[in-house]
Amino acid sequence: VQLVESGGDLVQPGGSLNLSCLTSGSTFSSYAIYWFRQRPGKGREWVSGIKFDGAEADYADSVKGRFTISRDNDKNTAYLQMNSLKTEDSAVYFCATWGDNCSGLKCKGYDYWGRGTQVSISS
């Protein structure tokens, strides 16, 4: 299974970005997709998750109301629409799949990860 993130960029506070996660090598529509981020000097933080059919999504409190996760199973791609961006949203963003030992859309482990895309928020 391969995941490739794209869409990261440098934007001003208050701006928007739409990240993509293109997957291959598995039946994309059978698995939940998750977004994480890692800020400089910090651990990897769960940001959002979406069920295999897109029927349910969940968000970290820090992004709720500003970020929207979605997926297009015909394109094997998941998205993270990020609005009202803040400087503290600056991080490398990763997508992951095949979660293990999950409670809702949060899991103890994730089998497959992308390499990440850099999001920088600065004026």
Q: Are 32 and 78 in contact (CB under 8 A)?
A: no
Of 96, 84, 91, nearest to 118 by C-alpha is 91
Q: What are the pLDDT digits (tens) for 77-89?
A: 999 999 999 999 9
Inform me whether the pLDDT recorded for 6 exceeds 90: yes
C-alpha triplet 32, 29, 92: angle, nearest 5°? 45
Strands 44-50 and 57-59: antiparallel
Q: What are the pLDDT digits (tens) for 12-50?
A: 999 999 999 999 877 888 899 999 999 989 999 999 999
Beta bridge partners of 122: none
